[in-house]
Amino acid sequence: MGRLHSLRPAMTSTDLIVPDPVFRRVPAAFGLRWWMAGWRSFMQAPLPWLGLAVALLVLLWLLAELPMGGLLSQWLSLPLLAFGVIFAALLRKRAEQARAMTPQGMPVEPQNEGTLSSTTQRWTGRIGPLLLVSLLVLALGGVIGAVIVMGLGAMFGLGLASFGAFAKVMTPGVGMAAGLGALAGSLMTLLLLVLLALYLFSVAFWFVNTLVALGGVSPWNAVKLSVRAGFTNLAPITLFTVLLLPISIVAMLPFGLGLLVLFPVLSGASFASYHDVFGDEAAA
C-alpha cells in the first residue's frame, strides 16, 4: 500500500466539494491483515491506547446510568469509536514518517507526542456529521429491525399454528414430543435468522464511521457508499468477523480487562480496512 500523507481537515462551507472516494475489492485474506494492523497500532502507543479505552468504557457506563441511557449510549458510541479510528490513522502517519527518515537497518521509533491533541482537533471538526450519521444508522436499524421482527413473528405464528394442527392428529404423547422438537427447531431457525440479519447489518455499515471521520463524506452518502463497499468486500469482512467471536470471548475472560486491548485493536483494524479498500486518496 502507498504511504498515508495526511488526514483531511474538517470541511467548512467555503471548502470545495470533494468527490466521494472510490472503493475497490480486496482479497479475503485481508480480514486477517486488518487484525494484524490493529495489533501493530496498539503496540505503537500502548499507554495512550489503554487510557483511551478506560475513558471510553467509563463514559459508556455513565451514559447507561442516565434515563434512556441505553439509547443514548448507542447513539454516541459510533462518534466515540471514531476518536479511536482517527488516533489510529495519525499513529500510522507518524510511523510512516519515522520509517521514511530512519536509515535502513535501524529500528523505527515514531514520535507520537501531540497525537492525542491532533486527534481531538480533527475529531471535534467532524463531530456534527458523526452524530448525524449515527442517528441515521440507528433509524435505519430500527426500521430494518421492525421489519425483521414482524417477518419473524409471522413465521413464528405459522409455526405455532402448524404445531397445534399436528398435535391434534397425533396421539397425546407422541404429538407433544414431536411438537416440542419442531418448536425447538423453529426457535433455532429464528435465532440463526436474527444473527444473520445482525451480521448483514454490520457489513452494510462497516465503513460508515471511517468514511465520515476520515474521508469527509457527508452522512447520507457515507451510508450509501458503505453499503456498496461493505458487500463488495464481503469475504474479508466475514473472515474478520469470524475471528472476532473467539477473540472477544478471550478478551472477556480476565474480568473483561481484555476489552482495554480489544478497543485499540478494533480501532486500528477499522482504519486498516478503510485504508485498504478506499486507498490513500480517500485517507489523505
Residue 164 scores a pLDDT above 90: no
3-state helix, strand, coil in the chain (%, to 5): 75, 0, 25
* pLDDT of res. 74: 81
For residue range 51-98, what is the model confidence (pLDDT) as tens digits? 999 998 888 888 878 787 777 878 888 898 999 999 999 998 888 887
Residue 159 scores a pLDDT above 70: no
Model-wide pTM > 0.85: no
Residue 181 scores a pLDDT above 70: no
Q: Please, are residues 261 and 251 in contact by the beta-carbon 8 Å criterion? A: yes
Provide the residue ranges of all domains of the chain, joining segments of one domain with +: 30-283
**Calpha distance 134→57 (Å, rounded):** 18
C-alpha cell belonging to residue 177: 414430543
73 CB-near residues (< 8 Å, 6+ apart): 60, 63, 64
* pLDDT of res. 258: 86
For residue range 1-26, what is the model confidence (pLDDT) as tens digits? 444 444 444 444 434 455 678 889 99
Nearest to 207 by CA among 232, 180, 239: 232
* Angle (deg, nearest 10), helices 127-169 and 172-204: 160
Coil, strand or helix at 6: coil
181, exposed or middle or buried, with CB in 10 Å at 0-12, 13-18, 19+?
A: exposed
**Calpha distance 63→271 (Å, rounded):** 26
C-alpha cell belonging to residue 50: 489503554
Q: Which residue has the higher pLDDT, 130 or 9?
A: 130
**What is the sign of the dihedral through the CA atoms of 61, 63, 67 and 70?**
negative
Span 238-266, average pLDDT: 88
**pLDDT-derived band of residue 113, with 50, 70 and 90 as boundaries?**
confident
Residue 240 scores a pLDDT above 60: yes
